[in-house]
Amino acid sequence: MNAVVSLFPKAQGDTLPAQRERVRELLRRRGAVLVAHYYVDGELQDLALQTGGCVADSLEMARFGRDHPARLLVVAGVRFMGETAKILSPDKRVLMPELEATCSLDLGCPVGPFSKLCDEHPDRTVVVYANTSAAVKARADWMVTSSCALAIVSHLKERGEKVLWAPDRHLGHYIQEQTGADMLLWDATCIVHDEFKSVELESLRREHPRAKVLVHPESPAGVIRQADRVGSTTALLRAVVDMDADEFIVATDAGLFHRMRQLAPGKTLIEAPTAGASATCKSCAHCPWMAMNGLAQLERCLRDDVGAIELDEGVIVRARTCIDRMLDFTARHPSAVAPAPSGFVPGLGAA
């Protein structure tokens, strides 16, 4: 099921073009730049690209917001993304269309119990996934995204370091399996990726024997084992564009399909199943919090200057250390990060 019902319908008599134009004018007037994740509504993705912003995964969003000269960043995504933007640009104002848009991984790793576990294992290097709160990042040695997690954990293993990993257990297990690293795993999952079903995927593959299977590593191990390509959102986007195939089964948030269809219009995309034959929806893979981002919320936050990310200065300083380590590592080892699709320029789309 591809359609996502807007949680915030337009006012009666309003039109989509009129809303778009008002948001464009607000961005221009306020000197703001829109940074959007691949999982938000396609309307916001298009608007970000058309106004000189960025549509990307969380790693590129972090870089783009840090390096862009705009003093006002508007982050369309979930709260940890806005917090990361603020941590990297504490002197900039960071707004979000909907501050209540959170993440099950963030919610599943509260800072109190997480800090207690860290204190119990002082011999381990603390590595946290981007999908965590600023407070959790402030307790970590490294932050990683799915684009660079394998390379960074491999690096730590080579240095003889043992890892305390949080929060996604599926991604942690995949990294542990791939690297052989000694990893203690926190137990949390993404509510979208955790729902992909390996048995149903096997059945779907029989129906589409020529299709390549693309899987995000936040998915269960039984789904990952069936993949032709496992990777971050950017890596999966690259696979659709560059792989020698015309049909793909994709196990990640359905929001990514919008950008995939734009960059690979001739390819057939099939949503990986999240439920059995008796379910009303065989695949409803869309984050409910990402769906809270809409044009109405974007207009409101720009017009009324609401939805600001505010963080304690001490948290910003401590959390920035683990993020800077990741950014420095990926800058020194560019091959550690999956390259963007052919002809793709962040912030511009297809060149």
Query: At residue 61, does pLDDT exceed 50?
Result: yes
* Domain range for 253: 193-271
Residue 46 CB: number of other CB atoms within 10 A?
Answer: 17
Q: State how far Cα 43 lies from the chain centre.
A: 17
Residue 73 phi, psi dihedral angles, 5° rounding: -105, 130
Tokens 């917090």, residue located: 83
Peptide bond into 167 cis (omega under 30): yes
Q: Which residues sit opposite 166 in a β-bridge?
A: 128
DSSP 8-state code for residue 239? H
Q: Are 334 and 45 in contact (CB under 8 A)?
A: no
Distances from the Cα of 158 to the Cα of 47, 153, 162, 182, 239, angstroms: 43, 9, 10, 11, 29
Question: Using 50, 70 and 90 to split pLDDT, how confident is the model at 11?
Answer: very low
Same domain, 258 and 222: yes
Q: Report the CATH number at residue 203.
A: 3.40.50.10800
In whole numbers, what is the pLDDT of the chain averaged over residues?
91
Structure tokens at 37: 């994740």
- Looking at 222, 245, 271, the residue that finishes a domain is 271
- Cα 78 from Cα 37, distance rounded (Å): 9
pLDDT digits (tens, 9 = 90+) for 151-181: 999 999 999 999 999 999 999 999 999 999 9
* Tally of residues, the chain: 351
Of 128-137, 190-199, 335-344, the range with the lowest mean pLDDT is 335-344
Query: At residue 350, does pLDDT exceed 50?
Result: no
**pTM of the full structure:** 0.90
pLDDT digits (tens, 9 = 90+) for 273-310: 997 555 556 667 999 999 999 999 999 999 999 999 99
Query: At residue 212, does pLDDT exceed 50?
Result: yes
Same domain, 236 and 257: yes
User: What is the reported pLDDT for 280?
Assistant: 55
